[in-house]
Amino acid sequence: MTATGERLRLDALIGGEPVATVETFENVDPATGETLAEVARGGREEIDQAVAAARDVFEKDWSRRSPAERANVLQRIAESIRNHQSELEEMESLDTGKPLSQARTDIEISARYFDFYARTVEALYGDTVPLSENVFVYTLREPHGVTGHIIPWNYPAQMIGRSIAPALATGNCCVLKPAEEAPLSSVRIAQLALEAGLPAGAFNVVPGLGEEAGAALASHKGVDHLSFTGSTEVGRLVLKAAAENIVPATVELGGKSPNIVFADADLEKAIPTIVRSIAQNAGQTCSAGSRLLVERGVHAEVRDEIARRFEGLTLGPGLDDPDVGPLITEKQRSRVAELVEQGRDQARLIVGGEAPANGPLARGFFFPPTLFDDVVPDTPIAQQEIFGPVIGVIPFNGEDEAAGIANATSYGLVAGVWTRDVGKAHRLVREIQAGQVFVNTYGAGGGVELPFGGRKLSGFGREKGFEGLLGFTRLKTVAVAL
Ligand code: NAD
């Protein structure tokens, strides 16, 4: 990033070189509405250059290195991210609005992904197939080639770790299109990777608008695999582009995840975790526990305690490290406010519901933690992803009703089950349609090692964990007559 006068300028990083574009767009500070940087507005031309750079180094160098050689480079990238921890966490907090301590965790997790995939790629073996005495059959796991990565604004540094690290570990070369709302850490981490010894062109970053750089990357004929994280709507467009070119794609999309609290749950453990899961990143987390299903026996107790805790949460700019930072854009805040306004006719508003109208917070895109009660499962407030600090409480009676309500949305990303009854927990785990189910916890420490992904409108394919490596390889079967 370079400073031009007062303003910072963020270029693309293609083939190891900063690339300025004729047109730029403004990157805005969500805490104040002021411009943080002028960002390169990449388009088809820059995507063409980036794909060509990735292809070149893929063929000549990176895919030809041994897993151990690639792992060494990845470990150096992890080390470099850690060495730049304070710079990166401040950048991420400023750009996304998230509280500094959450940005700190994101940077640590980003580094852990590079470490994890460095370690695990050396244990990624093929198989031998016992076909017959006369034919020796084995399988090879090969990289796809050039991989395209389109990420959202809510966890940029974590997304880079979870998507770019396994792609590089398995020998692919990458082109990343960060979200226009939060592109800073993407370019910086790619620069650090270059300095850490990653060959030029193995990790290119082209900032730009979704319908320009994003669409150009998704439809590029030189891209061999697409990894998309974002909304269901754009996920569909990316899948259509992948279908046109017949390339594999992983789509990690939205969610409306339930936390299910039974009357026999340890409420002292459940309630703080439930509050944290929606306060984190101001509820702008795909796996946020935004539906709270509470068994009738403890309904009032749970609702009142959550309301009490919501009222005590602090709101402020990310760098001040409050409990809840601003939403990412004015557009996002208006959307949340509108859905909450409509929700007043569908359920009972208990706490929150009004954006700060005066004082310093009125300049930024803040929205307070908001709690609805007596939410009816098939109303819009229980069905639509709000992507803000909003929880709707849905009372229920017994296991069967809980499972029915949990599955009664078009999403299927994550769920939490809170009970002391082990049998009930495992029965629910089987019933729930979701990619991840947590019992008596929610989220589990960043989840680097835990395969993650959805079903239904939450998408398909798995990232994170060892599974994440497999997705960035294709299988070749070899039969040799002896
Ligand atoms: P979005 O779909 O609007 O944007 C995501 C990315 O797609 C951005 O980089 C954007 O520029 C790009 N894009 C936009 N239009 C495009 C097009 N026509 N072609 C190609 N790319 C295009 O999503 P968002 O608003 O940035 O993020 C919020 C959504 O992401 C929520 O629905 C959330 O649940 C989801 N999300 C899911 C996960 C997950 O892992 N499942 C993680 C984080 C966010």
pLDDT tens digit sequence for 378-398: 999 999 999 999 999 999 999
Over residues 123-143, the mean pLDDT reads: 97
**Atom 11 (ligand 1): residue with closest C-alpha?**
210
Q: How many CB atoms lie within 10 A of CB 476?
A: 11
Burial 329-344 (b: 16+ CB within 10 A, else e): beebbebbbebbeebe
Over residues 354-364, the mean pLDDT reads: 94
Residue 156 CA, ligand 1 centroid: distance in Å: 11
CB-ligand 1 contact for 230 (6 Å cutoff): yes
Atom nearest to 209 CA in ligand 1: 11
Query: The sheet that has 12-14: what strands, in order across it?
Result: 17-19, 12-14, 203-205, 173-177, 146-150, 225-229, 249-252, 459-460
Active-site residue flag, 174: no
The helix/strand/coil state of 63 is: helix
Over residues 287-297, the mean pLDDT reads: 97
CB-ligand 1 contact for 180 (6 Å cutoff): yes
- Cα Rg, the chain, nearest whole Å: 23
Residue 272, pLDDT > 70, answer yes
Q: Which pLDDT score, from 0 to 100, does residue 152 have?
A: 98
CB-ligand 1 contact for 286 (6 Å cutoff): yes
Q: Which pLDDT score, from 0 to 100, does residue 21 have?
A: 97
Rounded Cα distance between 318 and 311, Å, is 19
Q: Which pLDDT score, from 0 to 100, does residue 47 have?
A: 98
Per-residue pLDDT reduced to its tens digit, 161-180: 999 999 999 999 999 999 99
Residue 200 CA, ligand 1 centroid: distance in Å: 27
Q: Which pLDDT score, from 0 to 100, does residue 349 have?
A: 98
Burial 303-319 (b: 16+ CB within 10 A, else e): bebbbebbeebebbbbb
Q: Which pLDDT score, from 0 to 100, does residue 1 have?
A: 62
CB-ligand 1 contact for 154 (6 Å cutoff): yes
Per-residue pLDDT reduced to its tens digit, 206-242: 999 999 999 999 999 999 999 999 999 999 999 999 9
Over residues 252-270, the mean pLDDT reads: 97
Q: Which pLDDT score, from 0 to 100, does residue 7 have?
A: 72
Per-residue pLDDT reduced to its tens digit, 148-165: 999 999 999 999 999 999
Residue 444, pLDDT > 90, answer no
Per-residue pLDDT reduced to its tens digit, 94-120: 999 999 999 999 999 999 999 999 999
Atom nearest to 234 CA in ligand 1: 2
Tokens of 101: 């301590």
Which of the four pLDDT bands, split at 50, 70 and 90, describes residue 446? confident
Which of the four pLDDT bands, split at 50, 70 and 90, describes residue 260? very high
Apex CA 136: angle with CA 135 and CA 141, to 5°? 135
Residue 5, pLDDT > 70, answer no
Residue 417 CA, ligand 1 centroid: distance in Å: 28
Q: Which amino acid is at 207?
A: P
Q: Hey, which of 44, 109, 180, 231 would you mutate to test ligand 1's pocket, going by the most ligand atoms within 8 Å of its Cβ? A: 231
CB-ligand 1 contact for 211 (6 Å cutoff): yes
**Percent of the chain at pLDDT above 70?**
98
CB-ligand 1 contact for 231 (6 Å cutoff): yes
Residue 4, pLDDT > 60, answer no
Residue 466 CA, ligand 1 centroid: distance in Å: 24
Point out the catalytic residue in the list 108, 181, 212, 252. Answer: 252
CB-ligand 1 contact for 316 (6 Å cutoff): no
Q: Which residue has the tokens 């409990």?
A: 323
Active-site residue flag, 211: no
**Atom 35 (ligand 1): residue with closest C-alpha?**
230
How much is the mean pLDDT over the chain?
A: 97
Residue 67 CA, ligand 1 centroid: distance in Å: 31
Output the CA–CA distances (angstroms, integers) from residue 356 to 189, 267, 333, 353, in the order listed.
34, 31, 11, 10
Q: Which pLDDT score, from 0 to 100, does residue 6 have?
A: 63
**Percent of the chain at pLDDT above 90?**
97
